């Protein structure tokens, strides 16, 4: 009987893993897809994907949209997220910190975290400049491409970092290869300095600043500024002071309501 129970429990666990894989895949694709397209692109059996999609549709986690049987993330997820934010006071603290940063610097302020082994912008407040620097909130980006990435993995050992970051993520958007040893050295220096700044790897006209938001001895998140390159370099010290003050407040903010 125990063997049967364990096997059934294992199947349920694998089903949950696959369901979350489907949801995360749709989040990353940001478009409605047919179940057979999802199955082909995540390398899963069509039968199990169809079964899970139907289960998620019945529960409002997925919805039909776009015609021809395409599905996308459902409105139930919005209500779940709203309930989470209502319970999680830290979210409101983040919004206030981003608003202050954007007002003080006139630059785009971001709150960033790890999403699995990728980096993502969780919250953003655009600055008051005539032209706007924006990013897709929730989009997964390779860790080595970002200023925040150095800080978010700095609590790990070198071996843990190299096992955590997919090797292909050291290939930069311009096709150049970032030596993992150089990334590790930058992560160690960023941890000692308490910040990291650089000319953006993703585009050619911005300068990025990141400071850690600490939780139990490691960077649970970062606060960032994205500025036009010349202005970022000219205002480096002032921008870092603003970021450090805001991050220090968040590092001690209550996590629960």
CB 94 within 8 A of CB 102: no
pLDDT band at 7 (very low <50, low <70, confident <90, very high): low
How far, in whole angstroms, is CA 190 from its chain's centroid?
19
Cα 136 to Cα 140: distance, rounded to the nearest angstrom = 9
CB 247 within 8 A of CB 212: yes
Topology given in CATH for the domain delimited by 88-251:
Beta-Lactamase (3.30.450)
- Domain 2-78 -> CATH class: mainly alpha
pTM over 0.75: no
CB 119 within 8 A of CB 149: yes
Which residues of the chain form CATH 1.10.10.10?
2-78
pLDDT digits (tens, 9 = 90+) for 106-149: 999 999 999 889 999 989 998 877 655 556 677 889 999 999 99
pLDDT higher at 42 or 89: 42
Which residues of the chain form CATH 3.30.450.40?
88-251
DSSP per-residue string spanning 19-36? HHHHHHHHHHHTS-B-HH
Cα 143 to Cα 120: distance, rounded to the nearest angstrom = 9
Count of other CB atoms within 10 angstroms of residue 234: 13
**Residue 142: CA atoms inside 13 Å, Cβ hemisphere, count?**
17
CB 213 within 8 A of CB 151: no
Angle between helices 35-42 and 46-58 (to 10 degrees): 130
**Average pLDDT of 170-195?**
96
């Amino acid at each position: 009987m125990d063997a049967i129970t364990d096997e059934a429990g294992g199947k349920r666990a694998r089903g949950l893993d696959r369901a979350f894989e489907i949801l995360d895949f749709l989040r990353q694709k940001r478009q409605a897809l047919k179940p057979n397209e999802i199955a082909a692109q995540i390398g899963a059996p069509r039968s199990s994907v169809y079964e899970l999609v139907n289960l998620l549709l019945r529960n409002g986690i997925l919805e039909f949209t776009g015609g021809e049987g395409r599905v996308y993330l459902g409105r139930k997820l919005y209500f779940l997220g709203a309930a989470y934010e209502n319970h999680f006071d830290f979210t409101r603290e983040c919004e206030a910190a981003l608003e202050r940063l954007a007002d003080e610097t006139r630059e785009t302020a971001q709150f960033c975290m790890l999403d699995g082994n990728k980096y993502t912008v969780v919250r953003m407040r655009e600055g008051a400049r005539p032209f706007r620097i924006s990013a897709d909130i929730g989009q997964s980006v390779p860790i080595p491409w970002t200023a925040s990435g150095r800080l978010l993995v700095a609590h790990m050992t070198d071996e843990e970092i190299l096992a955590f970051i997919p090797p292909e993520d050291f290939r930069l958007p311009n096709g150049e290869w970032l030596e993992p040893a150089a990334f590790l050295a930058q992560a160690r220096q960023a941890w000692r300095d308490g910040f990291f700044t650089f000319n953006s790897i993703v585009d050619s006209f911005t300068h990025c600043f990141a400071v850690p938001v600490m939780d139990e001895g490691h960077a649970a998140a970062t606060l960032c500024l994205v500025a036009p390159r010349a202005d970022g370099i000219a205002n480096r010290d002032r921008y870092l002071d603003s970021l450090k003050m805001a991050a220090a407040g968040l590092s001690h903010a209550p996590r629960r309501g």
